[in-house]
């Protein structure tokens, strides 16, 4: 039974039920409403590109779990790639399919990942598997440091906006696309605290509102929800 003092939070990405339950036990009720949908590109050209690259020794880069899923679904064997990726679920999926042998390094942001790639001085062709709404920071940083990168778009992001009726005390955003989708049909009071995963998402929020923004530099859902729990802890009825 929900207490009147329960804090209401909206998360714009699906969460594991365990995270939602844990938050509720600590006085925070989380609604999960996806404001974007990601769809793998299944055309023949993409499949041929991935399979051609699978025959080569390349340095593959992933900054999204959706890109890992889209690529591995088209592979019938584990290619001899060197792999750099973001941490969190993206890293977990990389290790699950490719294994530790091919994993080189991970980072908590695209900018830091670019720095690690530059430090390793890869000699193989660099291929960035990404979505159509990718940020340019990583490939641009690599390019200006002498590491041109082939970008292969393997999934697309579609906005799925919907109006919300609750007055949420907190809203969690995991991408600029979700921010655009949410604010295309919603307005919020100045008192609502907004949580952003990374500086790019936070900067996108700032183009819409002047609300307080709490930024998590870590790419995982668990870490983001921990930020929410810690922020509301002083007024958490069960803490």
Q: Are 155 and 36 in contact (CB under 8 A)?
A: no
What is residue 198's predicted lDDT score, i.e. its pLDDT?
Answer: 83
- Position 234 scores a pLDDT of 58
Is the pLDDT confidence value at 19 over 70?
Answer: yes
Q: Is residue 45 over pLDDT 70? A: yes
Q: What is the pLDDT of residues 168-223, one digit of tens each?
A: 999 999 999 999 999 999 999 999 999 998 888 999 999 999 999 999 877 678 88
Q: Which segment, 2-16, 187-201, 225-239, is predicted with the most confidence on average?
A: 187-201
Pairing assessment for the beta strands 149-159 and 126-131 based on DSSP bridges: parallel
Report pLDDT for 49.
95
Q: Give the per-residue pLDDT at 199.
A: 85
User: At residue 39, does pLDDT exceed 80?
Assistant: yes
239 pLDDT higher than 70: no
83 close to 103: Cβ distance less than 8 angstroms: yes
pLDDT value of residue 127: 98
Return the closest-CA partner of residue 185 out of 160, 157, 205.
160
Cα torsion at 9, 38, 163, 5 (round to 10°)?
Answer: -10
Q: Is the model more confident about 174 or about 3?
A: 174
Residue-wise pLDDT tens digits, 70-95: 999 999 899 999 999 998 889 999 99
DSSP state of 53: H
- Label the pairing between strands 213-216 and 36-40: unpaired
pLDDT at 22 over 50: yes
Q: At what angle do helices 89-98 and 65-72 cross, to 10 degrees?
A: 20
SS3 168: coil
- Are 217 and 109 spatial neighbours (Cβ–Cβ below 8 Å)? yes
* Model confidence pLDDT, tens digit, residues 121-169: 999 999 999 999 888 889 999 999 999 999 999 999 999 999 998 999 9
pLDDT at position 134, please? 85
């Amino acid at each position: 039974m929900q207490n009147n003092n329960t804090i209401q939070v909206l998360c714009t990405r699906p969460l594991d039920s365990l995270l939602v339950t844990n938050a509720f036990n600590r006085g925070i009720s989380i609604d999960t409403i996806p404001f974007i949908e990601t769809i793998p590109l299944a055309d023949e050209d993409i499949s041929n590109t991935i399979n051609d690259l699978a025959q080569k020794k390349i340095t593959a880069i992933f900054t999204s779990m959706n890109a890992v899923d889209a690529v591995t679904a088209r592979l019938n064997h584990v290619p001899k790639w060197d792999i750099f990726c973001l941490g969190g679920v993206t890293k977990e999926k990389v290790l699950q399919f490719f294994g530790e042998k091919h994993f080189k390094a991970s980072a908590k942001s695209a900018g830091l990942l670019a720095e690690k790639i530059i430090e390793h001085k890869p000699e193989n062709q660099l291929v960035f598997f990404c979505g159509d709404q990718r940020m340019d920071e990583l490939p641009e940083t690599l390019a200006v440091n002498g590491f041109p990168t082939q970008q292969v778009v393997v999934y697309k992001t579609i906005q799925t906006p919907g109006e919300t009726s609750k007055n949420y005390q907190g809203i969690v955003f995991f991408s600029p696309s979700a921010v655009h989708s949410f604010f295309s049909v919603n307005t919020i009071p100045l008192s609502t605290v907004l949580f952003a995963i990374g500086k790019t998402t936070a900067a996108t929020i700032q183009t819409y509102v002047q609300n307080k923004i709490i930024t998590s530099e870590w790419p995982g859902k668990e870490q983001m929800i921990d930020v929410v729990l810690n922020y509301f802890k002083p007024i958490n009825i069960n803490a």
